[in-house]
A and B are shown apart, each in its own frame.
Chain A
Amino acid sequence: DGGITQSPKYLFRKEGQNVTLSCEQNLNHDAMYWYRQDPGQGLRLIYYSQIVNDFQKGDIAEGYSVSREKKESFPLTVTSAQKNPTAFYLCASRAEPNEQYFGPGTRLTVT
């Protein structure tokens, strides 16, 4: 089955630690996205990548970093500089025209 996998489903970290969220797709899509979801705020774009070795900042990139070394993979690192990292994180990839497919999400809790 083609799709997007995100791991782990739940992640707990102490404040001050960096943490990396995994996103893998086997849909052969070029473009991939990371969103943050908070209650009542919809989805906000963190970073996106349209091709391997290239990525662009979204609306709320501060405190996050990404890499795109392989077409299938787009990991997101939440750094200690992110002031309020507790949230639900969603990864997506894009088919044309602009239809996005989403993974199941990772719920990150930082205490």
Chain B
Amino acid sequence: AQSVTQLGSHVSVSEGALVLLRCNYSSSVPPYLFWYVQYPNQGLQLLLKYTSAATLVKGINGFEAEFKKSETSFHLTKPSAHMSDAAEYFCAVSVPGYSTLTFGKGTMLLVSP
């Protein structure tokens, strides 16, 4: 079975600072990995995905993530935080041939002026 661990339920940064949200996964086979963002009282929106192509994946809104097999990690980064980035972020894993996603518990990103 697959699993995802997101380190830190809350992360606080200043506007303009680097954003780093951590995600570690467990999977017995090469996984697919996803990052989603959720604004209050809304659904989830896909930020980016890794599906066994390039290990550095670029997404929307300036976010990117790097798949590191040796570290079983898929951390999300953005060079410079913007106030509009304040939201909850979810990492998710699935494997080829399975139709479900397993989500982490989420990390709330707080951005201060």
Contacts and interface: CB of A to CB of B under 8 A. Distances in A.
A97 B51 contact: yes
B100 A48 contact: yes
A31 interface: yes
B103 interface: yes
B32 A97 contact: yes
A42 B103 contact: yes
A19 interface: no
Q: Could you tell me the dominant secondary structure of chain A's interface residues?
A: strand
B99 A50 contact: yes
Contacts of A90: 43-44
Contacts of A16: none
Contacts of A99: 34, 46, 49
Contacts of A17: none
Interface of B: 9, 32, 34, 36, 41-46, 49, 51, 90, 94, 96, 98-101, 103-106
6 closest A-B pairs by beta carbon, nearest first, are A102-B43, A42-B105, A98-B94, A102-B44, A43-B103, A42-B103
24 contacts: A31-B99, A40-B105, A42-B104, A43-B44, A43-B90, A43-B103, A45-B100, A50-B99, A88-B41, A90-B44, A98-B32, A98-B96, A99-B34, A99-B49, A100-B44, A100-B46, A102-B36, A102-B43, A102-B45, A103-B43, A104-B42, A105-B41, A105-B42, A107-B41
